[in-house]
Structure formats: structure tokens, C-alpha cells
Amino acid sequence: MGPGSPSAAERCVFCDIAAHRSPAFVVFEDDQTIAFLDIFPFTRGHLLVIPKMHGARLTDLPFDHQTALVRTLDVMCHRAERLAPDYNLALNAGRNAGQIVFHVHFHIIPRYGEANPFRATSREPLGDDDAQALVRALSAG
Ligand code: AMP
Ligand code: ZN
């Protein structure tokens, strides 16, 4: 385990995705960051952008990892605009703010004019066929 890794007892699902130990629909990757589709999207194309280094929240990361994350956010916000010009960008820090996965991540949530997608009932699991279409739409090129 590298610096910033959680202990073995606190296995982290996003560290597993960053290390390719767990599957994900990845649309971008560089040395310090990775972006993939949320498996329980609020809207079509809901993306997560994470640092490869483990940290529960943004302020746990060294500054160069924070800036790498923002650089990737810039790339991914531009690509999200391939789906819709509008989107929400969100970061939940702490349980009271709705954080469920304690490895820092930004959400990019495309908006298509729906009233309020931020309800548990509006979330359907990501389907494989659409995920593959989205990976094609959101990958480089
Ligand atoms: P948060 O409430 O900000 O911690 O959001 C965590 C997000 O991670 C939720 O939107 C989940 O649907 C998403 N999520 C959890 N596990 C995975 C996974 N294995 N692959 C992709 N997205 C995930
Ligand atoms: Zn982690």
C-alpha cells in the first residue's frame, strides 16, 4: 500500500477502482486521477472524478494532488458538455453533507431540464449497454 492508503481493515472501494482491482466504466485516467461513471446515476452520464491517492476529503490531500484533481475536472466538465451544456458539480464532505464513500470525489451530473433528479427514487442502476455508449461518448477523441 502506498502513502495515503487506508488500512487493510478499511478497504476503500474507490482505491480498488483507482488500482484496477475493481471494475468501473473508466472514461479518463492519468498518473494522479481517474474518472468513471457512477453506478447509481442521478442523471444519464453522472460521473465521478477522484484522486488515486486516498483521502477522505479534499483538505486531506497534498496540494499537488488537489490541483491534479481540478485539472481532470476541467477535462471532464468539457466532455460532460458533449451530453448536455448544463451540469451540477458537487462534492460531499462528511456524513452530514451526504458523503457515503470516504474517498474524496467530485460528482459531475449532467442536467437535461428535469425538475429535481436528487431524489433516491430517481436513481436506477447503470445499465451495461448505456454505460458502454457513455464510455464511447465521454472518452478522449
Ligand atoms: P457520495 O454520497 O458523495 O459519497 O457519493 C458516492 C457515490 O459513489 C454515489 O453516487 C454512488 O452511487 C457511487 N458509487 C459507489 N460505489 C461505486 C462503484 N463501485 N462504482 C461507481 N460508483 C459508485
Ligand atoms: Zn480510497
Chain segment 87-100, per-residue pLDDT in tens: 999 999 999 999 99
How close is the Cα of 43 to the center of ligand 1, in Å? 13
CA distance 13 to 103: 8
For the chain, list the domains and their CATH numbers.
Answer: 8-114+121-138 (3.30.428.10)
Query: pLDDT digit string (tens) for 6-41?
Result: 766 579 999 999 999 999 999 999 999 999 999 999
Closest listed ligand to the CA of 21: 1
Q: Is 120 in the pocket of ligand 1 (CB under 6 A)?
A: no
Whose alpha carbon is nearest atom 20 of ligand 1?
Answer: 39
Active site residue 54: no
Residues with CB under 5 A from ligand 2 (ion): 12, 14-15, 54, 103
Inform me whether the pLDDT recorded for 120 exceeds 90. Answer: no
Cβ–ligand 1 distance for 88 under 6 Å, the answer no
Share of the chain above pLDDT 90, in %: 86
Which of 122, 137, 15 is CA-nearest to residue 76? 137
* Mutate-to-test residue for ligand 1 from 48, 50, 96, highest number of ligand atoms within 8 A of CB: 48
- Lowest mean pLDDT, pick from 43-47, 59-63, 109-113, 120-124: 120-124
pLDDT (average), residues 62-74: 98
Please tell me what DSSP assigns to residue 22: S
| Interatomic CA distance for residues 113 and 106, integer angstroms | 21
